[in-house]
A and B are shown apart, each in its own frame.
Chain A
Amino acid sequence: MDLRKKNVLVIGGGVCGIQSSLDLADMGFNVYLVEKEPSIGGHMAQLDKTFPTLDCSACILTPKMVDVARHPNINLLTYSEITNISKGDRFNVTILRKPRYVEEEKCTGCGICTEHCPIEVASEFEMKLSTRKAIYVPFPQAIPLVFTIDKEHCITCGLCEKMCEAGAINYDQKPINMSVKVESIIVATGFNSFDARKSGEYGYGRYDNVVTGLEFERLLSAGGPFGGHLARLSDGKIPKRIAFIQCVGSRDEKSGNLNCSRVCCMYSTKQAVLAKEHVPGVDIQIFYSDIRAFGKGFEEFYRRSENEFGVKFIRGFVSEILEDPDTKNLLLRVEDTETEELIDREFDIVVLSTGLWPRNDIELMEKTLNISRSNDGFFAPAELQLSSVIATTSGIYIAGAAEGPKDIPDSISQASAAAMKASISSVRTHIGGITDD
């Protein structure tokens, strides 16, 4: 069948949206992949290694990103947003292409502009642990490898324009609205990490050495702000004692999220193992209430982390963290549920295993898409057991962390499932008869 005339829209270019797009494009559909940020990759691009195999995240993600870029059936629209969707016989979608102030076709990605730009801005990709320039790519393997000017900070000094040999800089670029008609839509907009400031007792934002999971991920990364040299933020000293606190913003009435975030037990275990590799002999204690090592190879990895790497797992509840103002060391008050003791322990770094939350802008997407959300805030499946990818409006599918917290393999399976359902819905007129949603 000729599927090239059938269009599908994929919103969000994280690992999930990437997989859905590739599957649909490989089948022969014409795919519009819309990503808000300057590059695709989502959270996975920010990870150092991945549990439980410790595969380097960039190494396994990059080929898929490159495949997206070179696929003849994928129209990659980065730095773009959906502004309107209306439903007729197909979906009419309006896409806003934000101005990059760099012409995508001309930019060769050489990076000379960045070298000369005088403006330094905290890098979002590096969790603001280091800086980028006003003209930037979020990370070296970005797809597309096209620079973007952050107009909010640019002083229009004109240096980049002068230096750019390709003549790609265009300060007058205007936003463009384009509209496409699509047969079906996959929503793969992912998650936001829980804002740890809301759990005030842990002092995040006030204490230098209390960091979130995602920040610690960057600290460990060879491509990160310290080149993978693990150090404290307050004084650059190599940590001797690191604590992890589990379920921050998950399984917690106070924060308003009862659900489990499914990945933080394992990412902490992974980070603990990696920290042990970076700093041999570092004492690592993970304070948890249940260790949820449920996926393929997870329990085995968890056991190895304890037996082979000496990571300590302590079933206990951390009620409070205090900072020593002189040393910036952190004092944890823990109720050890195994010994029923109240213990105070000092650490050099505390990592908060922050949970996965719905995106801050999810309400806007909810309105634009006209689909429902569950009481946990994520997009709701119309039917839980027999296909959680089908959204409450027909023709729209949800996958990956946009549908609820999940790890990479589960996101990828769901991405393919969503691609399957979207393709069925798109060819339905071909075969007639069997439809179900």
Chain B
Amino acid sequence: MIKPRVGVYVCHCGTNIAGVVNVEDVTKYVEKLPNVVTAKHYVYMCSQPGQVLIKNDIKELNLNRIIVASCSPRMHEPTYQTALEEAGINPFFFEMANIREHVSWAHINEPERATEKAKDLIRMAIARACLLEPISKMEVNVTEKALVLGAGVAGITAAYDLAQMGFEVYLVEKESHVGGHLALLNQLSRSRDASEILTSLTQKLSTPKIKLLNNSEVVEFTGYVGNFKAKIVQKPRYVNAKCDLCGKCEDVCPINLPNRLNFGLNQRKAIHLPLPNSYPPIYVVDKENCNGCGNCLKICENGAINLNDKPLEIDVDVGMVIVTTGFEPYKPDGEFGYGKYKDVITQLTLERILSKNGPSKGELVTPSNGKSPKNIAFIMCVGSRQESCDNQTIKPINAYCSRYCCSSTLKNALLIKQNSPESNVYVIYRDIRTFERGNEELYRSCRASGITFIRFKQDVPPTVEKTSNNQLTVNVKDYLFKVNMEINVDLVVLVEGMVSRNDTDDVRFKFSITRSEDGFFQEAHAKMNPLNTFAEGIFIGGACQGPKDVEDTVLQASGAAAKAAIFLCRGKVVLDLVTATVDEERCTGCAKCVNVCPYKAIELDETKELVQVIEVKCKGCGSCSSTCPIGAVQVRHYRDKQILAMVENILPS
């Protein structure tokens, strides 16, 4: 082995580090350690001059190991590794000592001890660096196809963008219709008919580049970036494309069921069209509730129905995945009389009521008696911005703001007020967050239209009750005018927030992605990388990443498509082989490691009585090496001896 020649670079990070740690002292100390050829400190190592410093030293001093003592490797490890590569040495001859998050920020009031700790961390890093080995790269081809999971507005947008670039896309949708929540809305704020928008989206699905798989789920997902394999199961629809929407089947079907998509406000048959403007425009049989009478079969003139259809299993190879699974509306759990009083509804139900293709054909009526309500109250932030407080009415579940709902509420409030100016509309709110372009004007229009705004504080939330004469009333303390108000109302609309879907974990484990504290999928970096995940080749967009409206959903979806397009256009990815490796001399073939590998990347070769690593599948997680009883499997770059060298260096000798 060539003798290590180490260069150490201590970063000030402005004053982030140098304000606490005595960088000069650290540098002087480090300089004298064995194998260290040079040690320097500089104000911003990540800046261009900082990197030039490293590159020049590598060339001039013939360095072969580089240590940067700065921040967390999460952001800048790749930055420095590229610098090493550019200077002509293997990027894995690099080690970072985190003296910001782990030192200067953590021990802000103890500069002396912080300085000592920084020295320790760097000494450990040097010990490991001396034992590092070069890691090679492997280039693999990228399958020029993508899988988009979820055909809401986000999924359709992303799929169509990639299709326009010429790539084939499998668009997998759980439901029998596409459009997600957009399909249920009446209007969007800044007024456009939601069904018009849906139509302009669904028109895009006719391109042969997009293979829409409705009623489908990904049941198995394996592989690695550029070369994923998905097994998709498509449940039968029992009706094929010959269906011309004549609707005769529906007339003869004997089964009546509450219509789930209209929140039970009307009924549908077992054979039904999910929504009047459903895409694909084909009926579907709800097989769970179908009694198999065959009435529909007999009456269908097109022979479109086959009640014996079987599920289809479809295996696809794709290079990239975009997850666009959207959200779920928060379901009030009894608060504000929801579930107890029929005329306490959620805003999504209101959208259905107001929609021309909804249960009352767009006429505003109350669920209890079908009359048009005169007094309507909206209660906002239901299921959002909940902080723990003594009051039990609000459960501390979702701390975040749901972002879409203020503007959406005002849109509906104004619509109702404009359609029947004699009605009394109350908006009971905490803050009005009409931040989107143009929606401040919507807010002004609402104020001018005579809608009553009542501000409440979370610790004194409104209550909804029925009085003895069966009158629905809202009691609320107006926080601005300091008065208690008792408002008789005919309809209460709870403005529900967005929550992460209850199958989020299923998707998360299948695709090896993570969730943020708020439950939604986590982006690779909250500020700089909102569309990537920590899993390479898997991107997120739309409301599955966090609550947002249609406009922002579309932007993220296109952005995520761009991220996928980068790999698809290049056609190749380069993988670092930080993977497990087997010492064939020592392996006994016990195969304990085969069982623990979550990626199925280790196989037993029975003839040789040895295990073998499939390098492209291995993610370097280390499960195998920690299981092997004799240490015959090691992960490159994290070998036992490299880790132990660090430990030994910190223990008192």
Contact = CB atoms under 8 A, between A and B. Distances in A.
B49 A222 contact: no
Interface stretch (A53-61, A147-155, A196-204): A53-61
Nearest to B44: A141
A409 interface: yes
B479 A338 contact: yes
Contacts of B15: 222-223, 227-228
B569 A3 contact: yes
A28 B44 contact: no
Contacts of B559: 412-417, 419-420
A1 B566 CA distance: 12
A27 interface: yes
B48 A60 contact: no
B437 A404 contact: yes
In the complex, which of the residues A28, A296, A387 has the most CB atoms of chain B within 10 Å of its own CB atom? A296
Interface residue tally of chain B, by bracket?
35 or more
Contacts of B441: 258
Interface string B12-26: 011110010000000
Nearest to B156: A386
B472 to A, nearest CB: 28
Nearest to B48: A145
A66 B51 contact: yes
Interface stretch (A118-126, A165-173, A343-351, A421-429): A421-429
B602 interface: no
Interface in B514-555: 516-518, 520, 525-531, 545-546, 550-552, 554-555
Interface in B421-446: 431-435, 437-441, 444
Interface in B181-225: 188, 190, 192, 197, 200-201, 204, 207, 209
Contact of B527 (A53, A141, A337, A378): A53
Contact of B558 (A60, A389, A430): A389
B295 interface: no
A64 interface: yes
Contacts of A297: 400, 516-518, 526
Given A290-B432, A385-B192, A419-B562, A413 B556 contact: yes
B303 to A, nearest CB: 33
Contact of A299 (B51, B197, B399, B560): B399
Given A141-B48, A259-B440, A409-B530, A434 B13 contact: no
B276 interface: no
A157 interface: no
B387 interface: yes
A260 B435 contact: yes
A291 interface: yes
Nearest to B384: A299
Contacts of B433: 290, 292-294
B558 A420 contact: yes
Contact of A376 (B190, B399, B437, B561): B437
Contact of A409 (B48, B164, B399, B526): B526
Nearest to B437: A404
Given A251-B440, A296-B518, A63 B48 contact: no
A374 interface: yes
A66 B48 contact: yes
B76 A292 contact: no
Given A259-B440, A260-B434, A384 B75 contact: no
A298 interface: yes
Contacts of A56: 13-14, 16
Contacts of A420: 161, 558-559, 561-562, 565
Given A70-B82, A423-B562, A431-B164, A109 B555 contact: no
B293 interface: no
B401 interface: yes
Interface string B47-70: 111010000000000000000000
A106 B384 CA distance: 57
Given A58-B44, A63-B79, A294-B433, A300 B164 contact: no
B431 A59 contact: no
B40 interface: no
B403 interface: yes
A223 B14 contact: yes
Interface residue tally of chain A, by bracket?
35 or more
B574 interface: no
A140 interface: yes
A294 B482 CA distance: 27
Contacts of B570: 26-28
B96 interface: no
B531 A413 contact: yes
A299 B385 contact: yes
Given A59-B13, A140-B44, A416 B401 contact: no
Interface string A254-273: 00001110100000000000
Contacts of A415: 559
A424 B164 contact: yes
Nearest to B79: A63
Interface string A53-79: 101101111111010011000000000
Contacts of B163: 434
Nearest to B14: A222
B75 A63 contact: yes
Contacts of A66: 46-48, 51, 79
Contacts of B526: 52-53, 55, 296-297, 409
Nearest to A277: B108
A144 interface: yes
A385 B188 contact: yes
Nearest to B545: A296
Given A338-B480, A385-B554, A424-B164, A290 B562 contact: no
A259 B192 contact: no
A188 interface: no
Interface string B139-169: 0000000000000000001001101111000
A143 interface: yes
Interface in B257-292: none
A50 interface: yes
A360 interface: no
Given A290-B431, A388-B555, A434 B164 contact: yes
Contacts of B13: 56, 59
Contacts of B48: 66, 69, 109, 141-145
B498 to A, nearest CB: 12
Interface in B368-417: 384-385, 387, 399-401, 403
16 contacts: A60-B75, A145-B48, A223-B14, A251-B440, A258-B444, A262-B435, A293-B401, A338-B479, A385-B197, A387-B157, A387-B558, A410-B555, A419-B562, A424-B165, A427-B166, A433-B207
Given A292-B433, A427-B165, 4 more contacts: A292-B435, A296-B516, A297-B516, A412-B528
The 10 A-B residue pairs whose C-beta atoms are closest, nearest first, are A416-B559, A417-B558, A222-B15, A420-B562, A222-B14, A290-B431, A141-B47, A296-B546, A431-B166, A299-B401
